[in-house]
Amino acid sequence: MASPTPAVRAEQLLWDLVYAYDDAYERAALEVGLSAAQACVLEHLVDGPATMGRLADEMLCDASNITQLVARLEARTWVERGADPTDRRVKRVALTPAGRRARREVHRRFRLPADRIGRLDPAQQEQLAGLLALMTDPDPERV
Amino acid sequence: MASPTPAVRAEQLLWDLVYAYDDAYERAALEVGLSAAQACVLEHLVDGPATMGRLADEMLCDASNITQLVARLEARTWVERGADPTDRRVKRVALTPAGRRARREVHRRFRLPADRIGRLDPAQQEQLAGLLALMTDPDPERV
DNA sequence: TATTGTTATACTCTATAACTATA
DNA sequence: TATAGTTATAGAGTATAACAATA
């Protein structure tokens, strides 16, 4: 059998990396007492509060799902739901101090990508960043 | 604010890529009528039958979960469970022709990594494969 | 009338514990 | 006694449809 092209090899390696990445992220979250989805919500709140609708958009899921995720996070005091002063339909979800700590703790435990990237030498890190930028950035409508 | 190091940029870009990757894989599977987990089982059977236990090991989940996943796949005639001739406790799970077609169809629709890698020129593809090999391969015990 | 968010519901994913059949 | 797999069960993630409150 002919050896695979670099593109095909890269495809396979990327699959393996994503597999390991997802697993490591879920483990890190579970160690802190969060599901992966819950940790993801905290991640999306780290730069400031967001509305329920914006969370649904960013997390690529239905609004009713966010209602439930946020309800569980709120029950454990990791987030708070507040009213929006300018539109009484809207809710503003924000991290509590405990939620911020939990999110930071997930990151501390989720060392996989940092570890692996850190093994590359600086020139290779630069190369990788450049290639990933090419792969993630130009996103001509249809993915 | 100082601009991030290449390593930190790569970390962020990799997160974005994994996010898009997971979403695209799930969409591709759903279009074919499979959940992501079900598609993943088919993927693990493509090179030949496997036992329930081996599927659980490879998919990093509990055996009872595999029982249910395989039961649903079998109900829709995508896989078959057969007896192992040498050990009557063991079951051999195999793709049916329909299962093989479904798995191929998921791949056809899941163009994300191939598309993005395909946008790089051949030298860049070679570089990327090399870097990913360094990141995925050397895995000194603790991840 | 359109939008934001919730509720009710149903299905899937997942793990734990207890179990059956076989080795 | 140990192993392969199943069953029962429960909690979480997810979407659809119907709904309430507000704009």
Q: By residue range, what is the domain housing residue A85?
A: 14-114
pLDDT tens profile B112-137? 888 999 999 999 999 999 999 999 87
pLDDT tens profile B66-81? 999 999 999 999 999 9
Q: What is the mean pLDDT of chain B?
A: 94
Task: Give the model's pLDDT for residue A112.
Answer: 86
Task: Give the model's pLDDT for residue B43.
Answer: 97
The C-alpha of A7 sits at a distance from chain B's nearest C-alpha, in angstroms, of 6
pLDDT tens profile B53-111? 999 999 999 999 999 999 999 999 999 999 999 999 999 999 999 999 999 999 999 98
H/E segment holding residue B83: strand B79-83
H/E segment holding residue A72: helix A63-75
Predicted confidence band at B140 (pLDDT cuts at 50, 70, 90)? low
Question: pLDDT exceeding 90 applies to what percent of chain A?
Answer: 89
Task: Give the model's pLDDT for residue B47.
Answer: 97
- Confidence check: pLDDT of B3 > 80: yes
Would the Cβ of A102 be found within 7 angstroms of any atom in strand C? no
Q: Which of B93, B51, B113, B86 is nearest to A17 (CA)?
A: B113
- In chain B, the residue whose alpha carbon lies closest to the alpha carbon of A126 is B6
**B136 interaction partners in chain A (CB closer than 8 Å):** 13, 16-17, 20, 116
Q: What is the mean pLDDT of chain A?
A: 94
Predicted confidence band at B2 (pLDDT cuts at 50, 70, 90)? confident
Distances (CA, A) of A49 to A42, A95, A98, B78, B132: 10, 7, 15, 45, 36
Measured CA angle at A141 (ends A16, A59), to 5 deg = 60
How far apart CA A99 and CA B38 sit, in angstroms, is 33
Instruction: Kindly state whether residue A125 falls inside one of the protein's structural domains.
Output: no
Would the Cβ of A88 be found within 7 angstroms of any atom in strand C? no
Task: Give the model's pLDDT for residue B143.
Answer: 39
Spatial contact of A26 and A37, defined as CB atoms under 8 Å apart: no
Q: What is the mean pLDDT of residues A9-35?
A: 95
Name the β-bridge partners of A93. Answer: A50, A81
For A73, the token pair is 């996070």
Query: Counting beta carbons within 10 angstroms of the beta carbon of residue B10, is it exposed (0 to 12), middle (13 to 18) or buried (19 or more)?
Result: buried
Query: Counting beta carbons within 10 angstroms of the beta carbon of residue A137, is it exposed (0 to 12), middle (13 to 18) or buried (19 or more)?
Result: exposed
Spatial contact of A128 and B10, defined as CB atoms under 8 Å apart: yes
What is the pTM (predicted TM-score) of this model? 0.93
Instruction: Kindly state whether residue A124 falls inside one of the protein's structural domains.
Output: no
- Confidence check: pLDDT of B6 > 70: yes
Nearest to A7 among B24, B125, B136 (CB): B125
Predicted confidence band at A143 (pLDDT cuts at 50, 70, 90)? very low
Spatial contact of B73 and B79, defined as CB atoms under 8 Å apart: yes
- In chain A, the residue whose alpha carbon lies closest to the alpha carbon of B113 is A11
Instruction: Kindly state whether residue A9 falls inside one of the protein's structural domains.
Output: no
Q: What is the mean pLDDT of residues A107-117?
A: 91
CB-CB neighbours of A26 under 10 Å: 17
Task: Give the model's pLDDT for residue A58.
Answer: 97
Cα four-point dihedral sign A94, A96, A102, A105: positive
Instruction: Kindly state whether residue B84 falls inside one of the protein's structural domains.
Output: yes
Instruction: Kindly state whether residue B78 falls inside one of the protein's structural domains.
Output: yes
Instruction: Kindly state whether residue B63 falls inside one of the protein's structural domains.
Output: yes
Instruction: Kindly state whether residue B137 falls inside one of the protein's structural domains.
Output: no
Question: pLDDT exceeding 90 applies to what percent of chain B?
Answer: 89
Task: Give the model's pLDDT for residue B114.
Answer: 87
Task: Give the model's pLDDT for residue B7.
Answer: 95
Query: How many domains does one find in chain A?
Result: 1
Question: What CATH number has the domain bearing residue B30?
Answer: 1.10.10.10
Task: Give the model's pLDDT for residue B88.
Answer: 98
DSSP assignment letter at A4 = P
DSSP class per residue in B95-134: E-HHHHHHHHHHHHH--HHHHHHHTS-HHHHHHHHHHHHH
How far apart CA B79 and CA B41 sit, in angstroms, is 10
Q: CB A60 to CB B23 under 8 A?
A: yes
Q: CB A135 to CB B119 under 8 A?
A: yes
Measured CA angle at B108 (ends B107, B114), to 5 deg = 80
Instruction: Kindly state whether residue B106 falls inside one of the protein's structural domains.
Output: yes
